[in-house]
């Protein structure tokens, strides 16, 4: 049984296998209606619980559609409507759900909820985002980068803004897929030192550069994310915006990256805040391919979890 909890917790060769399978499965259904079943229906007879303690558009829809395309069934559950963590322990919920479903995907706040779920579930658990990491997003991002530009190994990825959960999973992936990360943002919002050290230990070059123009020099990929994540308090919004404004990704900044650099954003994006519409809708942006690839990447993740 394989949990998919974080990119650094999964073997590099297995991660590569997941990306390759995602790509092959995507090719196999090109041009087919979204609701058409995959020929082999690898999840036939499987029931998947999708638990959300935070809002979601992409994760919710892509997991749901992905399971159905593979012939399985889903139930989408809101954390608020469950006993999760208030009516009973996470461990007990995990044990109970394991009697009904074959796979659990959970989006939650505190990482400890995900880890306790995985510890006590008898079925695989997938991390659909916590306050600390977002591994499914980065699997889709790697698939997207490689579709457009070939192997990500050896490339320079520049993360702009808040060193948040999505940034953390890029750092985890840097070690596993062999690319380098430059973080540019205010010191107060640096990525966790533990994750920076982990990437460095795994052989990736991680650079912290306060000057965004210097940071994007030679970039193959520039990435932005919201300045206020779902776990951040709304009262911090003005302070964060003031700190992060110099790190907006706009045409002037993109001009310092390599001419063929791509722009990515996990979405939802705040137009004219962390990124301008000119960049989001411009020729270097692959944001909607990223969103689509959530579907293909997660289908391969689910197959890997279930060994099917």
**Residue carrying structure tokens 């990736």:** 204
Comparison of 267 and 278: residue with beta carbon closer to ligand CP:
267
Active site residue 271: no
Work out the angle at residue 104's Cα, subtended by the Cα atoms of residues 6 and 140, and round it to the nearest 5 degrees.
45
By CB under 6 A, residue 224 contacts ligand NVA: no
How far apart, in whole angstroms, are the C-alpha atoms of residue 211 and residue 147?
A: 30
Of 80-88, 222-230, 286-294, 297-305: span binding ligand NVA (CB under 6 A): 222-230
Residue 217, burial from CB neighbour count under 10 angstroms (0-12, 13-18, 19+) = middle
d(CA 61, CA 72): 14
Q: Smallest Cα–Cα separation from 206: which of 180, 169, 170, 172?
A: 180
| 167 flagged as catalytic | no
Find which of ligand NVA, ligand CP, none residue 164 binds, CB within 5 to 8 Å per kind.
ligand NVA
Please check whether residue 198 is in contact with residue 192, taking contact to mean a CB–CB distance below 8 angstroms: no
**CB 130, CB 109: distance < 8 Å:** yes
Alpha carbon distance 253, 81 (integer Å)? 44
Per CB under 6 A, does 269 bind ligand NVA? no
Q: Compute the distance between CA of residue 73 and CA of residue 213 in angstroms, rounded to an integer.
A: 48
Q: How many residues bind ligand CP (CB under 6 A)?
A: 9
SS (H, E, C) 112-137: HHHHHHHHHCCCCEEECCCCCCCHHH
Among 75, 267, 269, 278, binds ligand CP (CB under 6 A): 267
Q: Between 7 and 46, how does the x/- string for binding to ligand CP read (CB under 6 A)?
A: ----------------------------------------
Of 202 and 291, CB closest to ligand CP: 291
Q: Is 272 left (phi over 0), alpha (psi -120 to 50) or beta?
A: left
240 annotated active-site: no
Residues 134 to 173 in contact with ligand CP, rule: CB under 6 A:
137
Residue 187 structure tokens? 């010191």
Number of residues that bind ligand NVA (CB under 6 A): 9
On the CB side of 242, CA atoms within 13 Å amount to 5
Write down the catalytic residue from 225, 240, 265, 305.
225
Smallest separation, CB 55 to ligand NVA (Å):
9
Choose, by CB under 6 A, the member of 25, 49, 56, 101 that binds ligand CP.
Answer: 56
Q: Which of 69, 137, 284, 298 is catalytic?
A: 137
Q: Does 164 contact ligand NVA by CB under 6 A?
A: yes
SS3 242: helix
Tell me the closest approach of the beta carbon of residue 27 to ligand CP, in angstroms.
23
Tokens of 184: 């540019």
Check binding of 57 to ligand CP (CB under 6 A).
yes
Choose one: 51-59, 115-123, 245-253, 277-285; the region binding ligand CP (CB under 6 A): 51-59
Q: In this structure, are residues 142 and 166 in contact, taking their beta carbons and an 8 Å threshold?
A: no
Q: Would the annotation count 165 as a binding residue?
A: yes
Nearer to ligand CP, 69 or 202 (CB): 69
What's the min distance (Å) between Cβ of 206 and ligand CP?
Answer: 23
Which residues are annotated as catalytic?
107, 134, 137, 225, 266, 294
What residues form the annotated binding site for carbamoyl phosphate? 56-59, 83, 107, 134-137, 266-267, 294
């Amino acid at each position: 049984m394989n949990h998919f909890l974080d990119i650094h917790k999964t073997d590099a060769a297995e991660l590569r296998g997941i990306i390759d399978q995602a790509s092959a499965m995507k090719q196999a259904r090109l041009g087919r209606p979204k609701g058409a079943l995959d020929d082999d229906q690898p999840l036939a007879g499987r029931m998947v619980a999708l638990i959300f303690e935070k809002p979601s558009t992409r994760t919710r829809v892509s997991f749901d559609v992905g399971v159905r395309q593979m012939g399985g069934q889903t139930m989408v559950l809101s954390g608020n409507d469950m006993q999760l963590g208030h009516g009973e322990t996470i461990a007990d919920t995990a044990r109970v759900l394991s009697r009904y479903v074959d796979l659990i995907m959970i989006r939650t706040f505190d990482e400890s909820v995900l880890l306790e779920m995985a510890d006590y579930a008898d079925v695989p658990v997938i991390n659909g985002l916590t306050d600390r990491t977002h591994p499914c997003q980065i699997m889709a991002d790697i698939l997207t980068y490689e579709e457009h530009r070939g192997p990500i190994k050896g490339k320079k990825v520049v993360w702009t803004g808040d060193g948040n959960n999505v940034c953390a999973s890029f750092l985890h992936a840097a070690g596993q897929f062999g690319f380098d990360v430059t973080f540019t943002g205010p010191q107060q919002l640096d990525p966790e030192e533990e994750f920076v050290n982990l990437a460095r230990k795994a052989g990736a070059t991680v650079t912290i550069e306060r000057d965004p123009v210097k940071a994007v020099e030679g970039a193959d990929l520039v990435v932005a994310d919201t300045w206020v994540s779902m776990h951040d308090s709304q009262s911090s919004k003005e302070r964060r915006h003031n700190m992060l404004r110099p790190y907006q990704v706009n045409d002037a900044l993109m001009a310092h990256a390599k001419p063929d650099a791509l722009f990515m954003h996990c979405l939802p994006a705040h137009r004219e805040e962390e990124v301008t519409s000119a960049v989001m809708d411009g020729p270097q942006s692959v944001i909607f391919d990223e969103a689509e690839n959530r579907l293909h990447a997660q289908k391969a993740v689910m197959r890997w979890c279930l060994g099917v």
